[in-house]
Structure 1
Amino acid sequence: MAQIIDGKAAAGRIRDLVKDDVDKFRSVTHRTVGLATVLVGDDPASEVYVTSKRRLSRQAGIEDHHRRLSADAGQDEVAAVIDELAEDDAVSGILLQLPLPKHLDSKALIDRIPWQKDVDGLTTTSAGLLARNAPGLRPCTPLGILALLRAEGIDLSGVSAVVVGRSELVGKPLAQLLLQQNATVTVTHSRTRDLATVTRTADIVIAAAGIPHLIGAEHVKAGAIVIDVGIHRSANGLIGDVDFEAVSPITSRITPVPGGVGPMTIAELLRNTIQAAKIQT
């Protein structure tokens, strides 16, 4: 059976480091660290995520600057809130919770966030800094995945990695981060022909397509490492993009759902927030 990669434990260690870092930052600079979360509408999943992010940020000593807007808030109203937070020196990082209501232009709103406060790493400027391998803030989930692999002592240099999914939130930035660690990277997506033939060549398979149980036993070679980014509600509880029961006997290591990548995303958000505070100082 595969070794289970414990994201909860790894995330807890990162949060402890962040708390120490926040305390040191305050003592040296006499400035606070603050995270502003912006929630538009009443999507239940988004509300749960934001509540968790706010709770864990407070536990790490990060001040909570939350903004809640109604589902019918207009583009200009949301933009004004982001502009206000951008000018507020007490706010180190700004997180615009996605998805937004359909009438809003999310890309335009994200790009109003100064890159120095872009703790989600999603602005056009942040994407450019990542592409150039220049200092900046990176998307949290890809950072969490790399942190998990480091915690497992996995050397990515020369390793064959297949990323299943090409989203701007996970797939694309993750592929770039893996390349920067000298991995040999293949990105697959909904138009990939014979997905299993591609994924079976990989030392590491990272499933981030947003399709429940997309990855089965036929997609993974013996001894591969499997990272499951997906999370979906089912009649049997939360499941991922990977069929855990079918795949885990084949792999050497695998992340569970829940308790794998999810906790790492929030931990890296907190780490990005203290990093943003340092950049601004």
Structure 2
Amino acid sequence: MAAGAKIISGLEVSAAVKERVKKAADELVRTTGVQPCLATVLVGDDPASATYVGSKQKTAKELGIATRDHRLAATFKQHELLELIDLLNRDPQVHGILVQLPLPAHIDEFSVINAISPLKDVDGLTPYSAGMLQNGKAHLKPCTPSGVMELLDYYNIDPAGMDAVIINRSNLVGKPLVFMLLERNATVTVCHSRTKDLEKKLQSADLVITAVGNRQRFTLTADMVKEGAVVIDVGTSRHQGKLAGDVDFASVREKASWITPVPGGVGPMTIAMLMRNTVSAASAIAAGAGVQR
């Protein structure tokens, strides 16, 4: 193992975040009588999505956050879903709205996400939230990228001046990370399936964040990583019967100065940051914060 190579533990950091969130939720109830409430919306019966929603609700309850569970048939129509979101937007006892993605093919995800009130957008995915993030003014930021930044901060890994390579260009991970890292003075390159000379770009990176999620299509190996790089693995897939990330962990760990495992790395952070966003939204709503649309 390279000297100083260390594990970035999402289990440890998420526990610290959740402890702070529980204290904040309790304090909000004590001082205002407002209990933070997260409404989850699941359309269809995808087992993985159902598991994710169940885990989010379980964590919420552990932290003193109330939940509203909306499980809808796959045949639920788009206009019906938009009507439900409108009801949740106007419900003063609901502070966060999470629509579990992906949605069935007959429903337009953009229209549904855009219908969520920015005040209750705990996933940080509405066009309003995306625009505020781009301008460095976002109150609610996407959970997984926020989790990545929280990991860096916890371990005092300063991205300022780093050459960072992100292998992902999605609205969920890659694009928000660009703005978060730029705000922290990193130099950012975004790579994807059409990128030329990917390995060359990776070999010069001080910070690699990979979120492909398909080991058959892409695996980050030791020859792609320069000595002392920080490696953050956001990808999840089944590999040889086990949950794995994008990174060939054993070999890359020999060269990286810091590395996240899968499981136990970025994954736990996503739910922790969702809980933090929910309490932040409840606090802002309780304080009468407004959003111009």
For the superposition of Structure 1 and Structure 2, which TM-score range results when normalised by the shorter chain?
A: over 0.9
Match of 1:172 among 165, 170, 175: 175
Matched residue of 2:115: which SS?
coil
Tell me the CA shift for residue 235 of structure 1.
3.0
Match of 1:124 among 119, 123, 127: 127
CA distance in 1, matches of 2:72, 2:226: 47
In the alignment, which residue of structure 2 is the partner of 1:233? 238
CA distance in 1, matches of 2:225, 2:138: 35
Tell me the CA shift for residue 245 of structure 1.
2.2
Report if the CA contact (8 A) 1:39-1:50 is conserved.
yes
Tell me the CA shift for residue 103 of structure 1.
1.1
CA distance in 2, matches of 1:143, 1:187: 17
Cα offsets for 1:153-200 (capped at 9, x unmatched) = 111211111111110000000111000011111111111101110011
What residue identity is the alignment partner of 2:159? L
Tell me the CA shift for residue 211 of structure 1.
2.7
Residue 212 of structure 2 corresponds to residue 217 of structure 1? no
In the alignment, which residue of structure 1 is the partner of 2:116? 113
What residue identity is the alignment partner of 1:46? S
Where do residues 251-262 of structure 1 align in structure 2 (5 Å cutoff)?
251-262=256-267
Report if the CA contact (8 A) 1:50-1:97 is conserved.
yes
Residue 275 of structure 2 corresponds to residue 274 of structure 1? no
Cα offsets for 1:56-110 (capped at 9, x unmatched) = 0110000011101001111011111111111111111000000111111011001
CA distance in 1, matches of 2:273, 2:195: 30
Match of 1:265 among 270, 273, 283: 270
In the alignment, which residue of structure 2 is the partner of 1:250? 255
Report if the CA contact (8 A) 2:129-2:138 is conserved.
no
CA distance in 2, matches of 1:156, 1:197: 20
CA distance in 2, matches of 1:176, 1:217: 27
Cα offsets for 1:95-130 (capped at 9, x unmatched) = 000011111101100111000100000001100100
Report if the CA contact (8 A) 1:92-1:277 is conserved.
yes
CA distance in 2, matches of 1:166, 1:37: 26
CA distance in 1, matches of 2:230, 2:158: 12
Report if the CA contact (8 A) 1:137-1:272 is conserved.
yes
Q: Quote the RMSD (CA, aligned, Å).
A: 1.0
Tell me the CA shift for residue 40 of structure 1.
0.6
Match of 2:68 among 51, 60, 65: 65
CA distance in 2, matches of 1:181, 1:143: 13
Report if the CA contact (8 A) 1:39-1:69 is conserved.
yes
Matched residue of 1:211: which SS?
coil
CA distance in 1, matches of 2:94, 2:181: 31
Matched residue of 2:205: which SS?
coil
Q: Structure 1 stretch 199-208 or stretch 245-254: which is displaced more?
A: 245-254
Tell me the CA shift for residue 241 of structure 1.
1.3
Tell me the CA shift for residue 3 of structure 1.
1.2
Matched residue of 1:215: which SS?
coil
Report if the CA contact (8 A) 1:166-1:209 is conserved.
no
In the alignment, which residue of structure 2 is the partner of 1:161? 164
Tell me the CA shift for residue 210 of structure 1.
2.7
In the alignment, which residue of structure 2 is the partner of 1:82? 85
In the alignment, which residue of structure 1 is the partner of 2:290? none
Matched residue of 2:231: which SS?
strand
Cα offsets for 1:33-63 (capped at 9, x unmatched) = 1000101101111011111000001100000
Ranges in structure 2 where 5+ consecutive residues have no aligned partner? 287-293
Residue 211 of structure 2 corresponds to residue 208 of structure 1? yes
Task: Give TM-score, length-normalised by structure 2.
Answer: 0.94
Task: Give TM-score, length-normalised by structure 1.
Answer: 0.98
What residue identity is the alignment partner of 1:38? V
Aligned pair count reads 281
CA distance in 2, matches of 1:99, 1:276: 23
